[in-house]
Amino acid sequence: MADLLSVDDAIARIVAGAVPIDAETVPLDAADGRTLAAPLAALRTQPPFPASAMDGYAVRVADIAAPPVRLRLLGMSAAGAGFAGKVGPGDAVRIFTGAPVPEGADAILIQEDAEALETSAVVARAGVAAGRYVRPAGLDFKTGAVLLYAGRDLASRELALAAAMGHATLPVRRRPKIAIVSTGDELVPPGTMPTGDQIIAASAPGLAAYIRSIGGEPYDLGIVGDNLADTERAIDQAVSLPADILMTLGGASVGDHDLVGKALAARGMALDFWKIAMRPGKPLMFGRIGAMRVLGLPGNPVSSLVCALLFLAPLVDTLLGRPLRDRSEPAVLAVNIAANDHRQDYVRATLTQADDLPLVTPLPRQDSSQLSVLAAADCLLVRAVNAPAAKAGDACRIIRLR
């Protein structure tokens, strides 16, 4: 349908003009889960000296070319306590993993190939190649080498590397502030038993968790009833945070009680679009109030969570300086499926791991009101607009949910 925007076009319009937000410096132990804001260069060389890769003896290769050979034992080199002397002809130094290789030695004779006679001698029972079991200085990296780049998410591997590079603090992007406003007279907060026509506002807790998982900082501004003044006040709260993104839940359609669009317009929002050719989640509004971007998601929890995955995540990626990425991956249908209509469909499905690609089985119920179905799903099976019927064994695309 001509008046419905495609998913790809909607994503492009949402991220258009967005630039990475400001950076801040945090201690290394506070950087887990953050996104690097600038390239990170090594402040030191690792290892800073030739180091032993094994327990054994530091030797000269030429001395043990024709084993067995008796060598003088000069002393010991241990991690943190290297041998200060020099290995000359016929000499050896007891050495341990990670210890500096003494000057003059050019290989490590592992202890399995040696026999200690007394405290001052050792017999080499085998020869060794030059450089064997020696880690050269700078084997891992050298001072000035850029090893981590802007846009890289920081986790255990990256933080260990940054520490080894000599960094105690890291430049990271500030977490985007994302305000969440739930709308509707029918909503009550979790923990409140609904009465009459009420329902529990389930979208906000799920979205807050998702926001944290993708690097954002959620601010739940609570539930606003179907009242224009109250809705405008909630928008003002988001502006005063200031939020980078305002996410409204519900009221993004055109019904008499759908006041979100009116309230946003009263607060100066420049509307970009509000309908997308997708299922679930057709009524999705996007616009801007000054620098704050506004995503009006459906109130339906399944629809709001699917829309967050598709549209919020790319916007957060852009604000954090991450490269935009295709979150879908190839899979294979486990069953026959029917042709699709004019809306791109995101079918809740389960996965079975096969030898090559995972097998996808749509769940039998697909009503967008059923959170239990979304919770049981492993992935979303992506069905393009007007996709023909497909058979078991056909290729498909999925987006993993866990």
Report whether the peptide linkage leading into residue 47 is cis, meaning its omega lies within 30 degrees of zero: yes
Q: What is the predicted pLDDT for the residue at 386?
A: 95
Q: DSSP readout, 328-348?
A: EEEEEESS-BPPP-SSEEEEE
The Cα–Cα gap between 47 and 58 comes to 17
Q: What is the predicted pLDDT for the residue at 355?
A: 81
Of 304, 328, 331, 327, give the one whose Cα is nearest residue 317. Answer: 327
Q: What is the predicted pLDDT for the residue at 1?
A: 43
The Cα–Cα gap between 321 and 149 comes to 10
- Beta strands (DSSP E) in 292-374 are 292-297, 328-333, 344-352, 359-362
Most distant CA atoms of the chain, gap in Å: 97
Of 193, 184, 155, give the one whose Cα is nearest residue 172. Answer: 155
User: In the numeric block, which tokens belong to residue 133?
Assistant: 């079991």
Q: What is the predicted pLDDT for the residue at 353?
A: 86
Q: Which backbone phi and psi does 240 adopt, to 5 degrees?
A: -75, -15
User: In the numeric block, which tokens belong to residue 227?
Assistant: 């009242």
Distance, C-alpha 144 to centroid of its chain: 26
Of 181, 163, 136, give the one whose Cα is nearest residue 295. Answer: 181
Q: What is the predicted pLDDT for the residue at 164?
A: 98
User: In the numeric block, which tokens belong to residue 371?
Assistant: 């959170």
Tell me the pairing of strands 51-52 and 134-135. Answer: antiparallel
The Cα–Cα gap between 190 and 211 comes to 18
Of 26, 78, 13, 22, give the one whose Cα is nearest residue 52. Answer: 78
**Residues lower than pLDDT 50 in the chain:** 1-2
User: In the numeric block, which tokens belong to residue 212?
Assistant: 């944290």
The Cα–Cα gap between 138 and 215 comes to 34
The Cα–Cα gap between 284 and 246 comes to 13
Q: Which residues contact 17 (CB under 8 A, 6 or more apart)?
A: none
Written as one letter, the residue type at 304 is: S
What DSSP character marks residue 310?
I
Instruction: Map tokens 């049981």 to a residue.
Output: 376
The Cα–Cα gap between 111 and 113 comes to 5
Are 371 and 280 a contacting pair, CB within 8 Å? Answer: no
User: In the numeric block, which tokens belong to residue 194?
Assistant: 């609904």
